[in-house]
Amino acid sequence: MAEMRRKISLKRLREVSLRDLLTVGLPALLLLIGGFWLAAQFIKPAPPSYLYISTGAPGGSYEVYAERYRQVLARNGVELRDQPSAGSMENLKRLLDEEDDTEIALVQSGTANGVNVDTLFSLGYLYYEPLWVFYRGGRELDRLTQLKGSRIAVGAEGSGTRKLALQLLETNGVDAKSATLLPLGGLSAVEALQSRKVDAVFLVGAERSAAVWSLLYAEDVRLMSFAHADAYTRLFPHLARLTLPQGAIDMTRNIPARDVALVSPMATLVAHESTHPALIQLLLQAAQEVHSEAGIFQRPGEFPRAGQADFPLSPDAERFYKSGKPFLQRYLPFWAANLIDRMVVMLVPIFALLIPIMKFAPGLYSWRIRSRIYRRYGELKFLEAEVEANPARHSREEWLEKLDRIEDDVHHIPTPLAFTDMLYTLRVHLGLVRATILRRTSQGESTET
């Protein structure tokens, strides 16, 4: 029996109070879980593995650049899904249609005038998109008023070319009454000019787009140099004046044969507000890789750049132009950097909750263990005070019985090994109170005798 008691005592010394652990640990755990849940509400979902972009007509600049974007995004595991269109106006319509999948589009600056674009953001200007007016005829033209009475291809319905062409022609007093305005654009307009079905064509795009390039080399086709180029930039702030230097296209064939004054809107990358920020960052990196090279109209590194002629600049784009590629993406693959970036939010509960919990929970646990011992100290102190005040109130056996009950409780306190010093001290004090009882009750009995 003694051996069994000894084993039980040893077990109690080694054990940790499960009740105390649950009392302290369970609220702390629930608090921590609540913190993680709250932090999780601020974690953006993982970016999709695909992105829909609306471009333009076959052979146009938008289609060419979208293909180059696709190659860059594919290296990072994101598929760029190209959706051809008639041009900027249709692209803008797709972005504004909540039922459409389009998230990104290439849009010509000036296209969105008068349109509610609250849900759209600019990701910046990509390149100059000059307006080219090619025409046939023996005499040189330098003003749009000279096109009165002509058959003019002003761009397909839904294109930014058509909107700009009609704006400039209207400014010069040319309309459907004074000229034949045909809804032809891109390669269709080129074919119509070459087959003499039209007298002039309006094209908007980079110099290396298929439509522009073919007409720059076409026989008996002239390129208009705008005498009113500076005036157009004052009337239409989204336009810039450009000069195509003599021989810049082909020095051997001296194309063009003279300096040509042009006006140019900006090709703008536009995103719907629902586009995932990580995909915006990746697309901007692709744009930087594709458009930062030098060109006839731009210096190295001039594009892409912050721009918001028609749309407010996206906060993600603003950060990109100020700080460049996100820090983690400079050293890690896109998927890994994005995962870590999302998970960083989960560190908030660790620093805000877990560290204080780790600091205060052991003290709270210790207090609970000590409080049980202190409670017995209180009982012991009360018993001693009673004995000192009135030892004759009970017989010696009754006083000792009260003390034995306290001592028995002390033996049954589940106390971890780290707190046994307090337990032994309490046992010593039990002995002192026992001695007091024996002394005081002995004196009381002697007095009565």
User: pLDDT tens-digit profile of 169-186?
Assistant: 999 999 999 999 999 998
Tokens of residue 135, six digits: 């025409």
Q: What is the pTM of this model?
A: 0.68
Q: Of 132-136, 402-406, 444-448, which gets the smallest average pLDDT?
A: 444-448
Q: Is the pLDDT of residue 328 over 80?
A: no
Q: Which residue has the higher pLDDT, 226 or 110?
A: 226
Q: Which residue has the higher pLDDT, 337 or 207?
A: 207
Q: Where are the alpha helices (DSSP H) in 206-264?
A: 210-216, 229-235
Q: Which residue has the higher pLDDT, 254 or 4?
A: 254
CATH of region 44-126+268-325, choose from 3.40.50.300, 3.40.190.10, 2.60.40.740, 3.90.550.10: 3.40.190.10
For residue 351, give the DSSP letter. Answer: I
What is the model's pLDDT at position 448?
46
Q: What is the mean pLDDT of the chain?
A: 85
Q: Which residue has the higher pLDDT, 345 or 158?
A: 158
Q: What is the CA radius of gyration of the chain?
A: 43
What is the model's pLDDT at position 10?
45
C-alpha span between 352 and 241 (Å, rounded): 56
- Average pLDDT estimate for 12-39: 63
30 falls in which pLDDT band (50, 70, 90)? confident
What is the model's pLDDT at position 36?
65
What is the model's pLDDT at position 326?
78
Q: Which CATH superfamily is 130-264 part of?
A: Periplasmic binding protein-like II (3.40.190.10)
Cβ-count burial of 449 within 10 angstroms (0-12 exposed, 13-18 middle, 19+ buried)?
A: exposed
What is the model's pLDDT at position 13?
43
* pLDDT tens digits for range 99-108: 999 999 999 9
Q: Of 19-33, 140-154, 389-403, 416-430, which gets the smallest average pLDDT?
A: 19-33
C-alpha span between 305 and 406 (Å, rounded): 82
- Average pLDDT estimate for 107-125: 86
* pLDDT tens digits for range 385-418: 888 888 888 888 888 888 888 888 877 777 777 7
449 falls in which pLDDT band (50, 70, 90)? very low
Q: Is the pLDDT of residue 446 over 50?
A: no
40 falls in which pLDDT band (50, 70, 90)? low
* Degrees, nearest 5: CA angle 58-60-66: 85
What is the model's pLDDT at position 447?
45
Q: Which residue has the higher pLDDT, 321 or 446?
A: 321
Q: Is the pLDDT of residue 17 over 60?
A: no
C-alpha span between 202 and 188 (Å, rounded): 12
Q: Is the pLDDT of residue 354 over 80?
A: no
Percent of the chain with pLDDT over 70: 87
* pLDDT tens digits for range 192-246: 999 999 999 999 998 888 899 999 999 999 999 999 999 999 999 999 999 999 9
Inter-CA distances, 288 with 257, 264, 318, Å: 33, 21, 14
**DSSP reduced 3-state for 240:** strand
Same CATH fold assignment for domains 44-126+268-325 and 130-264: yes
Give residue limits of the domains in the chain. Answer: 2-37+360-448, 44-126+268-325, 130-264
Q: Which residue has the higher pLDDT, 324 or 361?
A: 324
How many residues in the chain?
Answer: 449
66 falls in which pLDDT band (50, 70, 90)? very high
